[in-house]
Structure 1
Amino acid sequence: MNPSRRKIIVVGSGIAGLIAALELSKQHDVTLVTKHELAESNTRWAQGGIAAVMFPDDSVAEHIADTLRAGAGLCDPEAVSVLCTEGPARIRDLIALGVQFDEHNGELARGLEAAHSHARILHAKGDATGLSIELALVHAVRSSKVNVMEHTFACDLVIECGVLTGMEVLQAGLRRTLSADAVILASGGAGQLYRYTTNPIGATGDGFAMALRAGAQIADAEFYQFHPTALATGDTFLISEAVRGEGAVLVDTHGRRFMQAIHPDAELAPRDVVARGIAMQMAAQNGTPVRLDATVLEQRNGKGFLERRFPSIHRACLARGLDWTIDPIPVTPAAHYWMGGVRTDLHGRTSIPGLFAVGEVACTGVHGANRLASNSLLESLVFAWRCANLLNDDAEWQSERWSGPGPQLASFFQLPSETSVLTRPVSRTALQAIMWDAVGIERNGSTLRAALVQLDSWRATGSDLDSLETANLLAIARVVTAAALARTESRGAHFRVDYPETLEAWHRSLVYSTAAQTTVANELEFSR
């Protein structure tokens, strides 16, 4: 075997995992592990599109400014610059891989979304952007040398002397250990933390939980974004930001707009603002959902516009007995995207040598306290490519222990150990309910403390897939709740009723790590 070829495991089959696997397979032996089928991921459900500067009337500087503004002061400016500067080239890579973005008059079509100063959102098949990207990349991976392990659950990382050496997986009911020179976590988010989420059932934060148990640094865990508009029909089907970008408006039970009184940009304000505005209005009308009125788009653009522009949403509405071409549709906020995650540098390196993270599971600092619409697919694309090319280009990539620039460990942040006295088995339904009620759109100290006590009283049991996922959710719930309690201010997606102001003293990220629960002979140490 070529001595320069390494064994690399990629966990996850969304855009980040597929891009990383494709790039790495050019030079290394790559195994892609996914707990469902290869084409099943959060990416395939992304409707709105992907943001990039592809038009002469736009600029990278303005995309950077929009991203920084949405991030409420916590974005890493260097990460944002990388995202916006390298984004256009990565879009061209996607096109070369067979992704067919929609066109208008022979040029790329583009849409406007909330908090963007320009129409720069590319979309495919109207509102099936994520699916189009996913299928093109899956085809490329199937045609490559990547070894794909489907229906395989990533259980835990194997760490020796502070360095990652492999991963334990569950396949067909049996555990086995895969050796590796590196593991790249691209396992997505943890929307199943919450009672209402736009994420698929598999979004249980497995990669984050593995990294947490291994002692990796974690950052910005308190910042969970709630998408303003999901259908209030029981299954929270996402209604893309792009619908409001086209001109749809939010109205109360009397048909009156209410966002104009909350923010100058009304329905096109940043997501955290719109989600809170909807939550406030729903509280004022005794929990009744607000309505999204898209009927004006049919009037303005002609009959059939909604079906042509948003075919997936149109079909979803009809399947639920709703005709959004005639009547406003009921919507509610739902958990959508986690800005926090495993702390990385700008090449995906974590605080554990040999462990990398890209996509939603990672925290590069690019989103700050609130993600700009349609920057998530771009982040996954850009940073997965950077991570893969670091490993392809640098023969000594595992030799140094990167611990990141000046971490601020939160000494107040403590999680219960596995030996803590935990009294009752956890119910996933109860877990999701307490997270929605206490650690959702609005938070306060008393309910956060009560939630943490409740979470600490639960234990995870069982060794089947569902039980392992629930155990991961419980670990993540404790992290998110403790971080939300620690941040005594309101910023971006984190809103404290008891601390409603944004404070300069909190103009920083919370970064922390736990004592490793896997076998570590020589733990990495970090100082403030």
Structure 2
Amino acid sequence: MIYTDVLVIGSGISGLSYAMKIAQQKPGAKVAVITKSDDEESNTKYAQGGVAVVTDFTKDSFEKHIEDTLRAGDGLCKREAVEAVVTEGPERIREIVEWGANFDKNEFQTYDLGREGGHTENRVVHYKDITGAEIERALLKAIERLPNVELLNHHYVIDLITEHHIPGESFDKYNLNCYGAYVLDLKTQRIKKMSAKITLMATGGCGHVYKNTTNPIIATGDGIGLAHRAKARISNMQFIQFHPTAFYSLTTGQLPLISEAVRGFGAKLCTASGEPFMHKYDDREELASRDIVARAIDSEMKLRGDDYVCLDCRHLDQRKFMEHFPNIYKQCKDAGLDMFRDLIPVVPASHYLCGGIDVDLFGQSTIKNMFAVGECSNTGLHGANRLASNSLLEALVFGHRAAVKTLERLSEDNFNYEQLLKIPEWDQEGMKVNEEMVLLNYLRKELQTLMSDLVGIVRSNRRLKLAKQKEEEIYKSVKEIYNFSILSPQLSELRNLVSVAFLIIAQSMEQTENRGTFYNKDLDKK
């Protein structure tokens, strides 16, 4: 058994900032950060736009940011969570700057603030068009200096350890404790038992439950799948935000993102033949919230039978554009398109999960000593739709809040050490190596296709009913493979994706009104 005081699952902004605070404030505590890929590979790394935070109190205010967030969330945000994130944001930004993160400044040496859809003021602090990568770089560099933090790459979590895993233990499924996790070391192919007093889920999103997503390949809903099997409460899974403008490609998988900030800079959406259309859907046009823009694009594509719409940047100031978006320009150029001469083909793609593992105002889930922060959690900040660039801020604020509560728990030291000793090793006796990887690939593609076709931007009762039937068939096939196979990352990811699909479908069927990112065309008929 490997023992650690705090086990952090995930190495994005939420996991790393949380680990930093625990390690700094309790130098005697052992903190392990595990990730299934390299430590720098996370959803954070791909966040282009920036961090929405009030820094200019002459033009902006906390009240404006709160109201913009509540409006985007379409009446389903928890106001206390919104107020906490917005009002505590400036202090969290100050901290990561102290840790070494850089943000662009203007000629007056104040933050060069961008504006994105749904915001009534310029309030997005950024570093070029690679803000997430810059924050990730700074956090990793800072955390390397802490001797009590261990970063474990290529470690994949198989299951959370709760009373379910303790032989002969009677338990109440509504009053469970988390004792760590079973972890597959991808280099040795051995499953380790990692026990911990506190476990933090910071596993990111689930974009790869769909065919097209802006998320990296690691975003397979692992934290939500793990929490679902451990009987944590999970909600708002029906609210999937589709980013309106991913770079169109004939291939499936991760699509390059063209930041919303490009539209904030003045780019216009148009049809493939160059006709603008956003004026037909919202007075804010290109600066409407993401759910409105994504549905408008989806509608135009279906009306015209086109595979994409276009982003028109040809009229923009080239010098200023290149200062702000050098990497976006390069990615288009690499694909053979010049943003100042050509229309750029774009499509909506699965981008962000607004729901997730239910947590309180300190990131505590319904399983004791298991916290969840970042995209895998449902804090109540986003409601039915996330306001652009609120996610990195949420990760910092709730990472801090979860750290505060964790430090309290570690000081109280009311942990059941006897239970830790009862946890058995993972048993794979009698299991065989799955030699037919083609089955896993086939089932994963089947799942992604049904979710994209039947549970996408626009849903219907009929589509959801068919999706439920298809998902159940895939679940049975995956369970059969799991029952006789030695565990692999591919099989574990598929298990988690199936859990995520089940939750999205089930909670979509329970949703009785169209709100935010959720749209069922049959509900409009009532």
Question: Structure 2: how far apart are the matches of 1:351 and 1:253?
Answer: 48
Shift of 1:477: 0.4
- The reply to whether residue 322 of structure 1 matches residue 337 of structure 2 is yes
- Say how many residue pairs are matched: 470
Correspondence for 1:168: 182
Report if the CA contact (8 A) 1:187-1:206 is conserved.
yes
Shift of 1:476: 0.8
Shift of 1:393: 3.3
Correspondence for 1:465: 489
- The reply to whether residue 265 of structure 1 matches residue 284 of structure 2 is yes
Report if the CA contact (8 A) 1:390-1:397 is conserved.
no
TM-aligned CA distance change 1:279 to 1:398, over 3 Å: farther
Report if the CA contact (8 A) 1:353-1:398 is conserved.
no
Where 1:228 maps in the other structure, the secondary structure is strand
Question: Structure 2: how far apart are the matches of 1:500 and 1:338?
Answer: 23
Question: Structure 2: how far apart are the matches of 1:393 and 1:431?
Answer: 42
Correspondence for 1:146: 149
Shift of 1:107: 1.2
Question: Structure 1: how far apart are the matches of 2:71 and 2:524?
Answer: 19
The correspondence for 1:380, drawn from 395, 402, 427, is: 395
TM-aligned CA distance change 1:110 to 1:398, over 3 Å: farther
Question: Structure 1: how far apart are the matches of 2:501 and 2:159?
Answer: 18
Correspondence for 1:253: 272
- 1:7-406 matches, cutoff 5 A: 7-26=5-24, 27=26, 28-56=29-57, 57-105=59-107, 106-124=109-127, 126-144=128-146, 145-160=148-163, 161=171, 162-171=176-185, 172=187, 173-233=189-249, 234=251, 236-297=255-316, 301=317, 303-394=318-409, 395-396=411-412
Report if the CA contact (8 A) 1:354-1:398 is conserved.
no
Shift of 1:75: 0.1
Shift of 1:391: 1.3
Report if the CA contact (8 A) 1:343-1:362 is conserved.
yes
* Percentage of identical aligned residues: 41
Question: Structure 2: how far apart are the matches of 1:296 and 1:77?
Answer: 40
Q: Which amino acid aligns with 1:32?
A: V
The correspondence for 1:450, drawn from 466, 470, 490, is: 466
Shift of 1:398: 6.3
Shift of 1:305: 3.1
Kindly indicate which of the two structures has a greater share of residues assigned to helix: 2
CA offsets 1:387-423 (integer angstroms, 9 cap, x no match):
01111134348679xxxxxxxxxxxxxxxxxxxxxxx
Task: List runs of 5+ in structure 1 lacking aligned partners.
Answer: 401-423, 504-528
Where 2:375 maps in the other structure, the secondary structure is helix
Question: Structure 1: how far apart are the matches of 2:513 and 2:412?
Answer: 42
Q: Which amino acid aligns with 2:36?
A: K
Question: Structure 1: how far apart are the matches of 2:239 and 2:106?
Answer: 37
Where 2:346 maps in the other structure, the secondary structure is strand
Shift of 1:304: 3.2
Where 2:523 maps in the other structure, the secondary structure is coil
Where 2:162 maps in the other structure, the secondary structure is strand
Where 2:178 maps in the other structure, the secondary structure is strand
Question: Structure 1: how far apart are the matches of 2:262 and 2:22?
Answer: 37
Question: Structure 1: how far apart are the matches of 2:326 and 2:495?
Answer: 37
TM-score when normalising by structure 1: 0.87
TM-aligned CA distance change 1:184 to 1:397, over 3 Å: farther
Report if the CA contact (8 A) 2:197-2:415 is conserved.
no
Report if the CA contact (8 A) 1:188-1:205 is conserved.
yes
TM-score when normalising by structure 2: 0.87
